[in-house]
Structure 1
Amino acid sequence: MNTMPRVAICVVTYNSALLIADLVSSLGRGTEGVTLSLVFADNASSDDTVSEIERHAPHATVVHNGGNLGYAAGVNAAVRAAGQQDAYLILNADVRLDPGCVLALYETLTPDIGIVVPRLTDAHGILISSQRRAPTVLRAWGDAILGAERAGRFPQLGEIVTDPKAYQSEHTTDWAEGSTQLISADCWRMCGEWDESYFLYSEETEYDLRVRDFGLVTWYQPRATAQHLEGGSAGNPRQWSLLIANRIKLFGADHGRASTLAFWCATMVREGTRSLLGRRTSRAAFRDLISPARLREPRGPQWLADVKV
């Protein structure tokens, strides 16, 4: 009788052809001790992503979304296609699992722990500050004035947890970056699907904080490790503008007008000062922040294409 936990790895792809081979090659060692189902939800890639999946993972399930529906919609499509499992590992295509990663994540799940995240390093083996605190007005101002790295050393002032000591032991975290998140089946049933109104960015924040509202927690487990090569939002003006806009949208969904205005002001100061320092990403975000009509626009693939840089 097979008593190994059933875990579906759910990967959303969009023009990810160059990442597939290395991703798949890491899964064997990364999923030791679990029964693996591999599902790709492809958002209408125009490159060789699908053929690369068929080449390197011929037994995987591929969901053809028929268009660029966004990350949350891709996650939901992959989980639906995976069917009944014990847990679902939401995984970016640019993540490489270390040996035993998935089992270590799974063994951490309890009735109270709905999501488990690993210790992440970048392509050079440097620790990624992947833990996050819930967004607040004070933390937005701390980031604007001190910068994310310095503000993150102080729990009241920073959203990103930057103290290296916080990555040495396991504990709860308000939310975590969304590249590698193991979600229990019970958590998924209780809390529902990811919010597809977030085309890209803040979807994992919304989900992790929603899980907390349901009385469950997100847990950081350093015994599980993985490498995240990390994409290019920090250097892409279009994507950065979307990231900033969705942060304000997320905050405004759970706070009143006064608090949201204070959060918006802090964000304006942050992006405005960095724009003056010559950052093209912040200049694009600042231009959209000062346009209420722009902030209210639907944020899909066409919006990304239209952002002026």
Structure 2
Amino acid sequence: MTTDDRVQSTLSVVIVTFNSAGVVLDALDALTGIDDLELVVIDNASADDTVDVVRSAWPSATVIENHENVGFARAVNEGVRRSNGDLVMLLNPDAQIGAHGIRVLRDALGSYPGDVVAPFVEQPAPQRIVSAGRMPTVWRMFTHYFGLSRLSARLPLLEGHYLLPRQVHGTMPVEWVTGACFVVARRTWDEVGGLSERWFMYAEDIEFCHRVRRAGRRVWLAPEARATHLVGQSDSSASTTVNAAWVLNLRDFYATHLAPSSRSVGLWTAVVASGLGLRGLVAAVRHGTGSPAARRFSGYSRALVRSTR
């Protein structure tokens, strides 16, 4: 396959929206002018004018209006079924990637056909972690939450669940990437069955990458491609309530797919709850008990502990 053939492969960009009028326009503007791109937007019953914003900005888009919020994975799977491209990109409405980044990802898939390729996702400063890394085993969660992963430049065994920015050097294999932005060949998507609808949202990207790797494919981080992600702002009406679903679902994924025994699930819970609690304590000392970081980390830790009772 030549470079020209790779560039000409039709890319279906699938975006799930929910009250995203305040952010989705920037995502759409970044895609303007990219050749051979099909846009599919699935709206999960937004109460704002998200659908009107999308249709005005991109009249040729396929827009699917759900009558209720069916969750992220179910909406994505429906969007992919309604798309036609040889390549599928998942993109959050609060994420942006432009022509250069998409060209890099297309070229990478030409080098690694059938695999998953993701950009380096830049988050609001300071960026302490990368939205990619290793599977959430007890060891990887321990090294991350207790700071040992900072020593992994010399000891790769200490790499955590999340990679650190300084650990990223060129296109590299990883075990998972964020569903905020990645590209996969449709044949691979169909082969592994799309996203799991086990959860309303969160953890489905890691679980998908797990199945891709079990199918003999690989997952790649291509840092020459850059995307931005506002993290948590895909719903522009989101409240400040702590939502611990991500860590509860992550434990459920671990228990279902990675845990060697029921005891290891208890150990995972203890390690992660302790690590999150410690981070909440540090944030409280530095910024006060009422600071967003202190409330967030402490809330995650408490949710894990309460879920075991």
Q: Please state whether the residue corresponding to 2:197 is helix, strand or coil.
A: coil
Which residue does 1:305 correspond to in 2? none
TM-score, L = length of structure 1: 0.83
Q: In structure 2, what is the Cα distance between the partners aligned to 1:290 and 1:128?
A: 25
| Counterpart code for 1:269 | S
Partner SS, residue 18 of structure 1: coil
CA distance 1:168–1:12, change in 2 (3 Å): same
- State the Cα distance separating 1:225 from its structure 2 match: 2.1
Structure-2 residue corresponding to 1:24: 28
Structure 1 contact 120–127 (Cα < 8 Å) conserved = no
Measure the CA separation in 2 of the matches of 1:21 and 1:12. Answer: 13
| Alpha-carbon contact 1:113-1:218 (below 8 Å) kept | no
Q: Is the 8 A contact 1:152 1:160 kept in 2?
A: no
1:293–1:127 distance in 2 versus 1, CA, 3 Å: closer
Residue 170 of structure 1: how far off its partner (Å) = 0.7
The CA distance in 2 between the partners of 1:190 and 1:98, in whole Å, is 28
Q: Does residue 45 of structure 2 align to residue 44 of structure 1?
A: yes
Aligned AA for 1:89? M
Aligned to 1:93: 93
Matched length: 285
Q: Which amino acid aligns with 1:6?
A: T
Q: Gaps (5+ residues) in structure 2?
A: none
Contact 1:237 1:282 in 2 (8 A): no
| Deviations 1:148-198, CA, capped at 9 Å, x for gaps | x7376554331111142x433112111112211101111112111201112
Aligned to 1:304: none
Kept after mapping to 1: 8 A contact 2:171/2:223: yes
For 2:192 and 2:233, locate their aligned partners in 1 and report how far apart those are by CA, in whole Å: 30
Report the CA distance shift for 1:112/1:262 in structure 2 as closer, same or farther (over 3 A).
farther
Q: Which runs of 5+ in 1 are unaligned?
A: 295-309
Measured after TM superposition, the shift of residue 121 of structure 1 is: 2.2
- C-alpha separation in 2, matches of 1:192 and 1:136: 24
**Distance in structure 2 (CA, Å) of the matches to 1:117 and 1:274:** 28
* 1:125–1:227 CA contact under 8 A, matched in 2: no
Q: Deviations over 1:44-97 (max 9, x none)?
A: 111111111111111111111221111111211111111x32110000111222
| RMSD of aligned Cα (Å) | 2.6
1:227 is paired with a residue whose SS is strand
- Equivalents in 1 of 2:126, 2:69: separation in Å? 32
Cα deviation code 1:76-134 (max 9, x no counterpart): 1111111x321100001112223322232122115654211112223569696222111
Aligned CA distance change for structure 1 residues 155 and 43 (closer, same or farther; 3 Å): farther
Which residue in the other structure is 2:164 paired with?
162
Residue 9 (structure 1) shift: 0.4
Corresponding position: 1:281 with 2:296: yes
What secondary structure is seen at the aligned counterpart in 1 of 2:22? helix
